[in-house]
Each structure stands twice: as structure tokens, then as C-alpha cells.
Amino acid sequence: MKFRAVMNDGINIKEFLNVISTFSRMQKNLIINVQPSKLILQIESEAYDGQYLWCEIDATLRDGFFSEYLMDGIDSEHNQIYMTCLAASFLRALSYVRNNAVEYIKLKLIKTHMPCLAVEMSTTITNDQDVLTPKIQHAIPVTVVPRSEWNQYEMPLEVEYDLSIAMPSAKSLRTLLDKKKNLAPTVTLYATLNDELSLVVETEVVTVASHYRNLKCVPARKSGSEQDVNPTNLSEACCRVDTKKLAALFETLNFYDVIMTANIRHEQALNIRFDMRQNAFVNYILPATNFE
């Protein structure tokens, strides 16, 4: 097995740090899935929970997120690598770039006395006499997942949704959800083909609704389908989810330039997709809860 990837665009490096930072606050363990055409980062989900969070980065464009990307999986039939590590360890290895510019970051799977993901970065330090280009290196212990256990990390990529609606700014939602999480354990999101998104919390004594208008809402297409058909005739879709789990995601977000879209499967699931630059996106799925 081999894996090597290089990032040398400063904004992409910061975005990669932000993804790892977000994931480390959501879950202790990080799963890294290396495929020939993409790199997938995901949190470890409990089977009963139904909550999924992952980031998918296109690796096919040399002028994209990665300037170099080489991999060789476990065999020709199963040309992938799954490995797990502590998200906090990955974040510590990248922490230097939070406040400092680097020329590149290189990721490489190595084996010393145990499998490790090597993280190397180079920076430039200038003083009155010299220009130094020191290299900073970390080795993150990883567990390579055997082929027989890959199914534990499969994600629901073929979910069918009813309505898809653009979302307001992350800052606006962060402030709103921070208030609503103290009012009720669940929040219901309503999307309508009138281009309106509503977030509603209900208690025994009060109902609080917040409305966003003039957001583009369209019927969602069947996942993986190329047919120009709508899978639903619903004009409104809603989903009640855990308020604190939804708020926790927006509390940790810190992307530079992102387009957010909510996909709702009526009374069953909420999917929020964050499209970043250079063919990378983050997907978050929350199942419906306590819906009557």
C-alpha cells in the first residue's frame, strides 16, 4: 500500500485544517479513506445514531486541492485504503499552519515500528543574515483497517431527498441555533417551493419560528440519477432533528468560501452539504428524531 499527497495552495491548506478542526470537535476518531480519484475524511458513526459527517476532496485535478496525489490500495480489485487515527493528533500536526504560512504540506503513509501518516511542511524564516527553510515533520499513528471491516465505514450515498433549498449564512444560523438549543431539544426545518426556509422549536408553552425568504428551493433529484425527473411531488418538506447536534456543527464551522444547501427527506432525514472551492465538499446527515 502506498499513499502520498501534496498541497501547496495556502487557502486549500487552511481549508484542510478547518475540516480537520471541525471533525475533531464532533468525534474523537477520524477515518481516512484513500481512493484513486478522491480522498474522503469521515467521523466514526455509531450504528444506532444514523449521524454521518464526511468530507470528499477530488484528487483528479493537478490544479485542484492536491498538486500531487499518488496511491496504491491493498490490491487491484480493492484499490482503496482505510485507516483511522485520533482527530486531535491530526489537528496538532497541522496546528502550525493556523497562524503561519507554509510552502506545502505533504501527507504520506509510512511504516516504522507501526503504520503512521507522516505530515511534512516547509516554511521560510528570514532574519537579518539568513533565509532559512526549515521542515516540520510529524508522524501520526494510524490503524490500517482490514478489508473485512470496510463495511463498518460505508456511508449512505444513495439517499433520496424530496426538496433541496439554499441556506442562509453560517453566521446567521450559528447565532440562531445557539439560542434555540436552549429552548427545546429538537428543531424542525421546513422547506417550501415558495423559496422559504423555517426553523421552528416548540415547547409546552411557546412556539418560536424563524423564517428565511427568497432562498432557491427545488425538488431534489434522485441521488445518482441522470434522468431529468423529480422524485417527489411535495411542495413542502420538513424534518425534526436534534437541536444540539445541528448547533454543534455550525459552532465549529470556519470555512472561507462555502455554499450551503439543505436536502430534506420528508420526516426522515436532513442533509446539509457545504460546497467548498476546488471540488471539495462536506456532507452532514442527521436523522429525524421524535417525529409524530
Task: Tell me: do 136 and 188 sit in the same domain.
Answer: no
**Within this chain, do residues 187 and 249 fall inside the same structural domain, yes or no?**
yes
DSSP 258: -
Provide the number of structural domains found in the chain. Answer: 2
At 127 the pLDDT is 65
* 8 assigned to some structural domain: yes
Q: Are residues 226 and 89 in the same domain?
A: no
Residue 197 has pLDDT above 70, yes or no: yes
Confidence of residue 225 (pLDDT cuts 50, 70, 90): very low
For residues 239 and 279, membership in a common domain is answered with yes
In the three-class reduction of DSSP (H, G, I as helix; E, B as strand; rest coil), residue 81 is classed as strand
Q: Residue 227 — pLDDT band, cuts 50, 70, 90?
A: very low
The rounded distance, in Å, linking the Cα atoms of 91 and 22 is: 10
Residue 245 lies in a domain: yes
Per-residue model confidence (pLDDT) at position 130? 63
Domain termination residue (choose one: 153, 176, 196): 153
* Residue after which a domain boundary falls, among 105, 133, 153: 153
Containing domain of residue 91, as a range?
A: 2-153
126 in any annotated domain: yes
Residue 118 domain-assigned (yes or no): yes
Which secondary-structure segment (H or E) carries 57? strand 52-58
pLDDT of residue 104: 93
Distance CA 263, CA 166 (A): 9
Judge if 248 and 195 occupy the same domain. Answer: yes
The total of other beta-carbon atoms located within 10 Å of residue 216's CB is: 9
207 has which bridge partners? 202
| CATH number, domain containing residue 138 | 3.70.10.10
Q: What is the pLDDT of residue 282?
A: 92
The model's pTM is 0.87
Q: Are residues 47 and 99 in the same domain?
A: yes
Per-residue confidence band for 258, with pLDDT thresholds at 50, 70 and 90: confident
Q: Are residues 185 and 137 in the same domain?
A: no
- pLDDT value of position 224: 45
Question: Do 268 and 189 reside in the same domain of the chain?
Answer: yes
pLDDT-wise least confident of 49-53, 105-109, 125-129: 125-129
Q: Which of 168, 71, 176, 57 is nearest to 117 (CA)?
A: 71
**For residue 158, is it within any domain?**
no
Query: Which helix H or strand E contains 244, and what residues bound it?
Result: helix 243-252
Neighbours of 155 (CB within 10 A): 17
Q: In what order do the strands lie in the sheet with 259-265?
A: 143-144, 81-86, 29-34, 38-43, 52-58, 280-287, 269-276, 259-265, 163-166, 217-219
Q: Is the pLDDT of residue 5 over 90?
A: yes
Q: Are 124 and 133 in contact (CB under 8 A)?
A: yes
Last residue of a domain, one of 107, 129, 153: 153
CA 285/CA 273 separation, integer angstroms: 9
Q: Residues, the chain, total? A: 292
User: Distance between CA 190 and CA 198 in Å, rounded?
Assistant: 5
| H or E, element range at 118 | strand 115-122
pLDDT bucket at 277, cuts 50 / 70 / 90: confident
Residue 8: helix, strand or coil by DSSP? coil
- 209 assigned to some structural domain: yes
Q: Are residues 176 and 88 part of one domain?
A: no
Cell numbers 465505514: residue:
153
Burial of 196 (0-12, 13-18, 19+ CB in 10 A): middle
Same domain, 112 and 210: no
Within a domain: 292: no
Mean pLDDT, rounded, for 200-205: 90
Q: Are 172 and 99 in the same domain?
A: no
Instruction: Give the model confidence (pLDDT) of 40-86 as tens digits.
Output: 999 876 544 778 899 999 998 877 889 999 999 988 888 999 999 99
Are residues 8 and 149 both part of a single domain? Answer: yes
